[in-house]
Amino acid sequence: MNVILITLDSLNRHYLKAYGQPAGLEVSTPNLDRFAARSAVFDRHYSGSLPCMPARRELYTGTQEFLWRSWGPVEPYDLPIARAAGREGYVTQFISDQFHFFLGYSHGYYDDYHGFELVRGHELDPWKTAPLGGDDQPFLKRISYRPGSLKAFDRAAYARNVRGFSREEDFFAPRVFTCAEQWLEDNHTHDKFMLVIDSFDVHEPFHNPDSVAGMYTEEELHDPDLPVWAHSGRTDEGHGQLSERQLAFIRSQYAAKLTLTDKWLGKVLDKLDEHGLWESTMVIITSDHGHYLGERNLIGKPAYNNYNVLANIPLMIWHPEGAHQGGRVPALTATVDIYATMMEAVGHQAPQRPGHGRSLLPLLRGEADKVRDWAVYGYFGGTLNITDGSHTYHVAPDERVPLYNYSTMYMNPAAFFLPGYVPEQVESGRFLPYTDATVWKYEVRIPPEFASYRKTGYATELYDTAADPGQTNNLLDSSPELHSRMKELLRAALSELQAPPEAFARAGLAPL
């Protein structure tokens, strides 16, 4: 059986018809709609490690990352899905515009594919170097450029990269899915193949060609006072502050980018139709996390609790022998399960990592009603979150307890998701429960120059998401029995994962 994995970065499930849409904003996604109509749609699918690259380590190596490590590369002891599929005789291809794959602090994810293709220029991709001039100033304002920004946040890179873009075909999702469409045309006759399409869209900046930019707004599209790229944070103060007009425009441009992405994704689905590949191919469409667009007065992915806008993400799977074709799957699932699912699909034994991924094939084939009782998720060093599918429990970290990073390499600061310095005191040893490999262990501290990007809003909270999907009624004080049960569930989950001691301590828990 062939395997196709399509990841759409920052895809909000509530912008899809398959999951409901916000009042007053009907977003056109006919191709995702038709895929959902034939597929199993998962209602309780949760992210794991956030944001972008930590999620990719879960997707492509099956490692629940955020309890042990920050944003980083494939580790020498990982078994990437492409390597496993290659061992089983699959022809493998990777196509992406996610530039982080090709930088030193998050490398190794494409190495095992027979072929890979990077579409250049998205977000902060260090690609073009031509100087900017006066004509670029209005666009620099639209992407919230700040002179003197740290290199990791220098948005002038995007302005250089997209200078001259106007046609749909110039933009990133069209280029990614055109590459994928051509690859399928040239390679569909292989006995078995694995195609991974990792689209950085619908990630910000929400910059669109005029052909779609006006679909959901009456505003002047090139008004420099209307941003297409805000700063993560609160919409009512600080870096992320926006007027209601600006926020409405950003939402319209997110929706437009989703419509554009959907249009060009449809060409891949058309190619599956053209060559009759559906009966021999499993197709997975998912995301890494959502993106706040004003919900809870937040924008982007700031250092706040991981509410369901970020954490409860889309997952739709077509399986030729699926028992839920065109139906819903209510079982709780998580990002890390996708790796285990693909490993079983290609016929390769997944590494034994207790508590990490579970294959979803038993659910898809109708052989099981559930594969897990809990899912944990979060940012490295942020709130520790757990769900049982009906409730979410968010535990603010006790930052008096040291935070440690475990890896075979030191990670220098290239973004605010990373440990913030080269450590002076380092231990080496076999600290990880799922490998005998020796790794470095060092305390993580955030340097002063990153402090303004690290303003946090962590809080310990408890929600009944079945009754309160918007997570507006914090039950922490009013439901002591539920609080006790979710606290014990978190302790049991961390124990099954054999999480490091500081994970328990920062959450105020004792190991079982």
State how many domains the chain has: 2
Report pTM. 0.96
pLDDT exceeds 50 at position 414: no
**Span 194-220, mean pLDDT?**
98
**Span 267-283, mean pLDDT?**
99
Cα Rg of the chain (Å, integer): 22
Looking at 343, 364, 385, the residue that finishes a domain is 364
Judge whether 511 lies within some domain. no
Paired strand residues for 377:
385
Same domain, 307 and 160: yes
Same domain, 132 and 189: yes
| Cis bond upstream, residue 205 (ω within 30) | yes
Same domain, 128 and 158: yes
User: In the chain, what's the furthest Cα-to-Cα distance?
Assistant: 63
Looking at 364, 397, 426, the residue that finishes a domain is 364
Residue matched to tokens 């200078």: 163
| Cis bond upstream, residue 202 (ω within 30) | yes
Q: Which domain CATH number covers 135?
A: 3.40.720.10
Give the pLDDT of residue 424: 76
Judge whether 42 lies within some domain. yes
Helix 52-61 / helix 336-346 crossing angle, nearest 10 deg: 30
Same domain, 146 and 278: yes
Give the pLDDT of residue 352: 86
Judge whether 129 lies within some domain. yes
Residue type, 426: V
By residue range, what is the domain housing residue 383?
Answer: 375-506
The mean-pLDDT minimum among 109-113, 151-155, 188-192 falls in 151-155
Percent of the chain with pLDDT over 90: 85
Judge whether 200 lies within some domain. yes
**Angle 97-99-100 (CA atoms, 0-180°, nearest 5)?**
135
Same domain, 270 and 416: no
Same domain, 360 and 412: no
Across the chain, mean pLDDT equals 93
Judge whether 512 lies within some domain. no
Judge whether 66 lies within some domain. yes
Which pairs from 398-404 meet CB under 8 Å and 24+ separation?
398/505, 398/506, 398/507, 398/508, 399/506, 401/502, 401/505, 401/506, 402/443, 402/502, 403/443, 403/444, 403/502, 403/506, 404/441, 404/442, 404/443, 404/444, 404/500, 404/502
Same domain, 239 and 324: yes
**Alpha helices for 285-359 (secondary structure H):** 308-311, 336-346
> Distance between alpha carbon 380 and the CA centroid of its chain, in Å?
14
**Helix, strand, coil share (%) of the chain residues, nearest 5:** 35, 20, 50
How do residues 79-105 score in pLDDT, each as one tens digit?
A: 999 999 999 999 999 999 999 998 877
* Residue pair 376/384 in contact by the 8 Å Cβ criterion: yes
Same domain, 339 and 439: no
Give the pLDDT of residue 152: 65
How do residues 105-119 score in pLDDT, each as one tens digit?
A: 788 999 999 999 999
Residue by residue, DSSP assigns 16-29 as: BGGGB--TT-----
How do residues 452-508 score in pLDDT, each as one tens digit?
A: 555 578 999 999 999 999 999 999 999 999 999 999 999 999 999 999 999 999 999
Judge whether 241 lies within some domain. yes
Looking at 317, 341, 364, the residue that finishes a domain is 364
**Angle 400-434-347 (CA atoms, 0-180°, nearest 5)?**
140
**Span 155-179, mean pLDDT?**
97
Backbone angles phi, psi at 387, to 5 degrees: -135, 150
Give the pLDDT of residue 427: 94
Judge whether 370 lies within some domain. no
Same domain, 318 and 419: no
Same domain, 158 and 257: yes
Q: pLDDT confidence of 415, banded at 50, 70, 90?
A: very low
> Distance between alpha carbon 240 and the CA centroid of its chain, in Å?
21
Same domain, 144 and 252: yes
Same domain, 416 and 458: yes
